[in-house]
């Protein structure tokens, strides 16, 4: 896989002599760092204006073994003059006379040129025989070509530097960042993209520093994940940053990932790619590569996926103000961006092609709003097609003909992967399309939600041991997971960001109505189990209404919940049917506003829980809410202690049951958290609360 050949290198000083002179040290620097991960003891390669300062052009001390550079200490000189040998003679004599602080007998002299060096071998042998240095090495155009061939990220970087167009779709991460970040005013910076999400940065940096593995990351838009990867690397110390960037290559599809994996089996890359690459990512990891997967924003329900936190509004506001915006303007933009980096980027973009894309007009919105409601659907599913027909009032095939041109428009809001249609960035699209939402469209959305969410999964008509093979028995759910969860996520966006729809009186009231209707007829455990994947989102859309539904269910029909929490009899294919219910209440409990009520509901469930093999039990959820040091809530110590004190009075046996676990070697896992609704804090579940809060809580327990 060769993007730079020897002709490109030799032509560089002819066409851009000054650029070559100032950039050659940077090229060598990147090449070395790409092959010396955690193996550099001393490193100095000034570039740009610094090349004229004097002294060695480069100094290196490394334990790494490479055919391109020496191990141990080495001093480097570089020249772009027409006669490489004359320049080499000049630099060699200069450094023999004055090696500066380097010890010649312990140092290898290295000369680098982008030119041809026809008598390189003879010159090298002659100087080695002189014995002035430990060793002498020449790196000319042909050697640089070979070095670049095995260092793809640096080759892509150099191609941009010399103006060579690479026909393939491989890109280095810096090019991706430059393309994504320019055009805004003020300019998007790594600090602005991070937006106070320092814990997320630490997660990415730890992944880079660790052994090869896959990191699946989800932002509000697929591009945000790549931008966050760059921003996280940009926060590293200079040498670590350069090392990481020298290994980063972005691919656009799974075929390119396979090509890189095959072409570079022995050179560790950091490969970033879209969600479709996951099927080939494991092979890449076995070859020593780190693989960064940017998941589509519409994908939900993957427990091991690393979902980026929401940026902190006050941090974004501060950075915008420091970048030149007035305080009032910074406050307005930070507020109107909905704590979303892709939305913020649109607000700041100077070109209306990005800030107000053509597809955001009223005419296009008539086509795209039904897509936004669905969020994602599988055109091979009969039920999915029927819902699209309900939302659009058109036959599915006719609507697809109308929708397909949007795939190829600039900054398209949709994409199609196999048989699945999806919105690229639900929140971004919502902010642009919501102003065109009408009450009539909302009625169709209501109708579609209830049709999908009140449908009991046909697999529950089978015996437990057969449910895993429901498709074989003709008992598949007519609606895809994509559509079922996608519809409810759109309901959450409507509820949380409803102020974007001026023609709708109360979007939260609409969400309350939908959630109430969904659970009004859910009087059997099968109904709750059928929507377990959507239940946490329903709770996020309407927390009060959801808790009321659970409270009434426990009061009127406790046997239903008892049956729901029983272990299924499906053997190794059994399912935890109540996981969605617990995750929903865990998500609600992160909010101090709902904490006490959520705790009481969980305890009521724990009282009727028959127990079983699954670790997802209501009593464990309560335990984690009060876990010293790592409470799965943003509720402050004082309020947690007040709730706990009441529980000791009203439910002493239940408190004893979960509190005794604190004195054993019990492990804690991160509770489910809302994705869109603000719960009053930024701490993740596996992040410890402050020492002050921890001491306050322990003191209260005492």
The closest alpha carbon to 553, from 588, 527, 532, belongs to 527
Q: What is the pLDDT of residues 452-501, one digit of tens each?
A: 999 999 999 999 889 889 999 999 999 999 999 999 999 999 999 988 88
Listed range (303-312, 336-345, 412-421) with the worst mean pLDDT: 303-312
Mean pLDDT, the chain, whole residue set: 92
Instruction: Identify the residue whose tokens are 């910076």.
Output: 189
Gap between the Cα atoms of 481 and 484, Å rounded: 5
Structural domains of the chain sorted by starting position, each given as residue range(s) with its CATH number in brackets: 6-162 (3.40.1350), 171-313 (3.40.50), 558-702 (no CATH)
Residue of 434, 432, 449 lying closest to 537 (CA atoms): 449
Q: What is the pTM of this model?
A: 0.82
* Sheet with strand 414-417: strands edge to edge: 376-378, 420-423, 414-417
The closest of 425, 416, 417, 405 to 358, measured between CA atoms, is 405
pLDDT > 60? residue 166:
yes
What is the mean predicted confidence (pLDDT) over 527-551? Answer: 96
The confidence score (pLDDT) of residue 48 equals: 64
Half-sphere exposure of 498 (CA within 13 A, CB side): 20
| Cβ atoms of 409 and 424 closer than 8 Å | no
Q: Mean pLDDT across the stretch 420-442?
A: 92
Residue 159, judged by CB atoms within 10 A of its CB (0-12, 13-18, 19+), counts as buried
CA 605 to chain centroid, in Å, comes to 35
pLDDT above 90: residue 511:
yes
Say what the pLDDT of residue 80 is: 94
Look at residue 52 in the predicted model and tell me its pLDDT: 58
Q: What is the pLDDT of residues 574-619, one digit of tens each?
A: 789 999 999 999 999 999 999 999 999 999 999 999 998 888 999 9
pLDDT at residue 575 in the model: 87
Q: Cα separation of 441 and 435, whole Å?
A: 12
DSSP state of 458: G
Place of tokens 């006669």: 83
Query: Which residues are 414's β-sheet partners?
Result: 423
Neighbours of 41 (CB within 10 A): 11
pLDDT for res 644: 95
User: Per-residue pLDDT for 47 more than 80?
Assistant: no
Give 31's pLDDT tier (boundaries 50, 70, 90). very high
Specify whether the backbone of 196 is left (phi greater than 0), alpha (psi in -120 to 50) or beta: left
Residues in the chain: 702
Q: Any idea which of 209-213, 348-352, 611-615 has the lowest mean pLDDT?
A: 348-352
| Mean pLDDT of the region 511-522 | 96
Contact between residue 28 and residue 80 where contact means Cβ atoms under 8 Å apart:
no
Residue 223 has pLDDT above 90, yes or no: yes
Cα 29 to Cα 36: distance, rounded to the nearest angstrom: 11
Distance of alpha carbon 673 from its chain centroid, rounded?
16
Residue 50 has pLDDT above 60, yes or no: no
pLDDT tier, 626 (very low <50, low <70, confident <90, very high otherwise): very high
The sign of the dihedral angle between the CA atoms of 34, 35, 37, 42 is: negative
The rounded distance, in Å, linking the Cα atoms of 410 and 421 is: 17
Rounded Cα distance, 565 and 513, in Å:
27
Q: Please, which pLDDT band fits residue 364 given cuts at 50, 70 and 90?
A: very high
Q: Distance (Å, rounded) from C-alpha 216 to C-alpha 580?
A: 22
Q: What is the pLDDT of residue 464?
A: 86
Residue 258: predicted pLDDT: 95
**DSSP letters along 295-345, please?**
E-TT----TT-EEPPPPPHHHHHHHHHHTT--HHHHHHHHHHTTT-HHHHH
Q: How confident is the model at residue 270 (pLDDT cuts 50, 70, 90)?
A: very high
> Is residue 301 pLDDT above 60, yes or no?
no
3-state secondary structure (DSSP) of residue 73: strand
Whole-number pLDDT of residue 358:
85
Q: With b meaning 16 or more CB within 10 Å and e meaning fewer, what string describes 465-495?
A: eebbebeeeebbbbbbebbbbbbbbbbbbbb
Per-residue pLDDT tens over the stretch 183-210: 899 999 999 999 999 999 999 999 999 9
- Residue 172's φ and ψ, nearest 5 degrees, are -80, 155
Q: What are phi and psi of 77, to 5 degrees?
A: -125, 145
Is the bond into 158 cis (omega within 30 degrees of 0)? no
Contact 406, 412 (CB under 8 A): yes
Residue 51: the pLDDT is 58
Angle formed at CA 378 by CA 372 and CA 379, multiple of 5 degrees: 100
Taking CA atoms, 445 is separated from 390, 510, 552, in Å, by 8, 10, 26
Nearest residue to 321 (alpha-carbon basis) of 311, 310, 329, 312: 329
């Amino acid at each position: 896989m060769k993007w730079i050949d020897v002709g490109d290198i030799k032509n560089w000083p002819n066409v851009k002599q000054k650029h070559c002179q100032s950039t050659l040290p940077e090229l060598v620097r990147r090449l070395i760092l790409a092959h010396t991960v955690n193996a550099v003891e001393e490193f100095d390669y000034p570039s740009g204006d610094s090349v004229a300062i004097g002294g060695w052009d480069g100094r290196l001390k490394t334990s790494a073994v490479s055919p391109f550079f020496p191990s141990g200490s080495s001093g480097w000189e570089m020249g772009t003059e027409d006669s490489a040998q004359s320049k080499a003679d000049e630099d060699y004599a200069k450094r023999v006379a004055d090696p500066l602080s380097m010890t010649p007998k312990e140092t290898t002299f290295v000369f680098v040129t982008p030119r041809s060096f026809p008598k390189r071998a003879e010159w090298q042998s002659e100087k080695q025989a002189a014995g002035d240095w430990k060793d002498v090495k020449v790196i000319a155009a042909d050697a640089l070509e070979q070095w670049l061939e095995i260092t793809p990220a640096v080759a892509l970087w150099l191609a941009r530097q010399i103006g060579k167009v690479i026909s393939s779709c491989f890109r280095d991460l810096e090019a991706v960042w430059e393309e994504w970040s320019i055009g805004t005013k003020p300019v998007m910076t790594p600090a602005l993209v991070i937006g106070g999400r320092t814990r997320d940065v630490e997660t990415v940096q730890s992944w880079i520093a660790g052994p090869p593995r896959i990191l699946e990351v989800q932002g509000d838009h697929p591009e945000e994940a790549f931008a966050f990867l760059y921003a996280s690397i940009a926060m590293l110390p200079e040498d670590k940053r350069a090392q990481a960037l020298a290994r980063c290559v972005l691919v656009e599809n799974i075929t390119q990932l396979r090509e890189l994996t095959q072409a570079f089996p022995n050179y560790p890359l950091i490969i970033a790619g879209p969600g479709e690459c996951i099927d080939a990512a494991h092979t890449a990891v076995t070859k020593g590569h780190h693989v960064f997967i940017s998941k589509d924003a519409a994908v939900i329900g993957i427990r091991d996926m690393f979902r980026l936190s929401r940026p902190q509004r006050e941090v974004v506001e501060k950075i915008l103000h420091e970048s030149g915006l007035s305080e009032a303007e910074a406050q307005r933009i930070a507020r109107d961006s909905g704590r979303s980096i892709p939305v913020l980027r649109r607000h700041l973009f100077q070109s209306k092609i990005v800030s107000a894309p053509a597809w955001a007009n009223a005419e296009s919105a008539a086509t795209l709003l039904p897509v936004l409601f669905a969020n994602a659907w599988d055109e091979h599913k009969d039920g999915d097609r029927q819902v699209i027909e309900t939302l659009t009032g058109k036959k599915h095939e006719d609507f697809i003909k109308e929708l397909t041109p949007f795939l190829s428009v600039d900054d398209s809001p949709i994409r199609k992967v196999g048989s699945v249609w999806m919105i690229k960035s639900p929140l971004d699209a919502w902010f642009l399309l919501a102003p065109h939402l009408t009450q009539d469209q909302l009625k169709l959305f209501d109708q579609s939600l209830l049709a999908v969410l009140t449908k009991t999964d046909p697999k529950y008509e089978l015996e437990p041991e057969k449910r895993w093979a429901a498709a074989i028995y003709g008992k598949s759910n007519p609606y895809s997971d994509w559509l079922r969860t996608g519809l409810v996520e759109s309901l959450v966006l409507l509820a949380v960001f409803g102020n974007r729809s001026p023609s709708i009186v109360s979007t939260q009231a609409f969400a309350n109505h939908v959630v109430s209707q969904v659970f009004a007829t859910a009087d059997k455990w099968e109904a709750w189990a059928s929507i377990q994947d959507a239940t946490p989102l329903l709770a996020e859309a309407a927390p009060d209404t959801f808790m009321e539904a659970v409270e009434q269910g426990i009061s009127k029909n406790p046997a239903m919940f008892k049956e729901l929490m029983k272990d299924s009899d499906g053997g190794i294919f059994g399912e935890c049917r109540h996981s969605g219910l617990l995750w929903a209440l865990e998500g609600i409990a992160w909010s101090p506003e709902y904490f006490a009520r959520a705790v009481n509901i969980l305890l009521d469930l724990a009282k009727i829980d028959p127990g079983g093999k699954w670790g997802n039990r209501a009593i464990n959820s309560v335990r984690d809410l009060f876990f010293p040091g790592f409470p799965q809530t943003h509720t402050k110590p004082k309020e947690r202690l007040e709730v706990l004190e009441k529980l000791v009075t009203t439910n002493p046996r239940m408190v004893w049951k979960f509190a005794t676990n604190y004195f054993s070697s019990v492990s804690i896992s991160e509770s489910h958290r809302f994705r869109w609704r603000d719960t009053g804090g930024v701490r993740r579940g596996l992040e410890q609360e402050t020492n002050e809060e921890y001491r306050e809580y322990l003191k209260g327990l005492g």
